[in-house]
Amino acid sequence: MTSVVTRSETPPIGPVVGMVGAGQLARMTQQAAIALGVELRVLANSPDESAARVIVDIRFGDYRDLAVLREFAAGCAAITFDHEHVPTGHVEALAAEGLAVRPGAAALVHAQDKAVMRERLTAIGAPCPAWARVSSAGDLEDFGKEHGWPVVLKAVRGGYDGRGVWVCSSVDEVEEVLAGDTELMAEAFVPFERELAVLVARSPHGQGVSYPVVETVQRDGICVEVIAPAPGLDPEQAAQAQHIALKIANELGVTGLLAVEMFQLADGKVMVNELAMRPHNSGHWTIEGSRTSQFEQHLRAVLDLPLGSPAPVAPVVVMVNVLGGEDPDIFSRYEHVMAHDPGVKIHFYGKEVRPGRKIGHVTALGTDLEEVRARARHAAAHLATGEYV
């Protein structure tokens, strides 16, 4: 008879990388880990999480508990993250005990605390919107008077995918937020033409590489589409954006990936919006679209291996996210998508389908932007809802 056994007794044959968090980023990192023979260990909350379904060496526990992190990290060649929520102090504590935590606390705090990030970026000369910490209606009123309305009110810590961000035209609109105990900051609203993102990697040895600048499209604060490279971007502006991202990675001492989300203004200039220090939605196109996927790159960087080529493999790559619709049976819709377009690549994250939830993405490659984008949009829309757009 067959038997189900745990394999916890089997000694690893490759270096163990511990990733805190078991979402789709950890899941896709596993694909790269399999190729390199790296043993990916993940700290998860529950066995039905995206990465928990595909990773053998999984531990369950609370990442806010230092004892859990310490036990999780034992035996790992490097510790890294699929989200930014591990307390900075815990990251410091692990490093103090000699563990290779990548990125380290001194870098990671800039992806955890938007006020610290703004202070630092301003200090190193990276272009940012006007901003200020606010702790009262009066602070916000003053900021609005000085920089004009609308104002972007943000939680200093903890926001993601549009959560923790309020675009307001007056103090009244955010009364409740201001009355709460969330640490807040205000930013001038940037009348951007479009959003760009630059993904770079930096290794502990100090090697750095930048992927091509991409255009990102957000809807309700969630990334829904990425075009690589950003269409019509002036080569000098592209080089400048990459320079800014690499400079931030270097100045902050990032190890691993750094995604720099940017606004592009009407005059072509860019401003830094957000930072993330992990594989990023704006880099999913690299799985098929670049010589080195962002997931392989992150593993190489955190293991201090030489970085891989970020060269694109096609003139145009478009990634479109799949958000859950009303009908959860996504698999019944593979048939149409695959028959319609034998070249489109489907990624489903193994998550329970709920309306609006990010459950996967599709990638199309080619030479003509309109055609490639239409293919990717068609596939994503059909997977989500069964519609033929």
d(CA 39, CA 214) in angstroms, rounded, equals 31
Nearer to its own copies, 5 or 266 (CB): 5
The amino acid that residue 278 corresponds to is R
Q: Which residues does residue 41 pair with via DSSP β-bridges, in sequence order?
A: 18, 57
Tell me whether residue 189 is annotated as binding.
yes
Nearer to its own copies, 6 or 181 (CB): 6
**Residue 245's Cα: distance from chain center in Å?**
15
Q: How far is the CB of 61 from its own copies (least distance, A)?
A: 4
Q: How many CA atoms lie within 13 A of 339 on its CB side?
A: 5
Nearer to its own copies, 24 or 273 (CB): 24
Tell me whether residue 228 is annotated as binding.
no
Tokens of 125: 């000369």
d(CA 169, CA 153) in angstroms, rounded, equals 10
d(CA 380, CA 27) in angstroms, rounded, equals 20
Q: How far is the CB of 384 from its own copies (least distance, A)?
A: 14
Confirm if 151 and 140 have CB atoms less than 8 A apart.
yes
Nearer to its own copies, 124 or 311 (CB): 311
Tell me whether residue 273 is annotated as binding.
yes
- What values do phi and psi take at 352, rounded to 5? -60, 135
Q: How far is the CB of 77 from its own copies (least distance, A)?
A: 9
Nearer to its own copies, 120 or 351 (CB): 351
Nearer to its own copies, 39 or 113 (CB): 39
Tell me whether residue 236 is annotated as binding.
no
Tell me whether residue 188 is annotated as binding.
yes
**Binding residues for its own copies, per CB under 8 A?**
1-10, 13-15, 27-28, 30-31, 33-37, 39, 43, 47-48, 52-56, 58-61, 67-68, 71-72, 287-288, 291-292, 300, 305-309, 311, 313-314, 330-331, 334-335, 338-339, 342-343, 345-352, 360, 365
Q: How far is the CB of 17 from its own copies (least distance, A)?
A: 12
Tell me whether residue 274 is annotated as binding.
yes
Q: How far is the CB of 88 from its own copies (least distance, A)?
A: 21
Q: Which residue has the tokens 């993102």?
A: 197
d(CA 110, CA 117) in angstroms, rounded, equals 4
DSSP class of 138:
H
With the CA atoms of 57, 275, 258 and 240 taken in that order, what torsion angle do they form, in degrees rounded to the nearest 10?
170
Tell me whether residue 97 is annotated as binding.
no
Tell me whether residue 250 is annotated as binding.
no
Q: How far is the CB of 57 from its own copies (least distance, A)?
A: 8
CA distance readout (Å), 380 to 226, 280, 339, 360, 372: 13, 19, 14, 9, 12
Residues marked as binding?
114, 154, 187-190, 195, 273-274
Residues marked as binding for ATP?
114, 154, 187-190, 195, 273-274
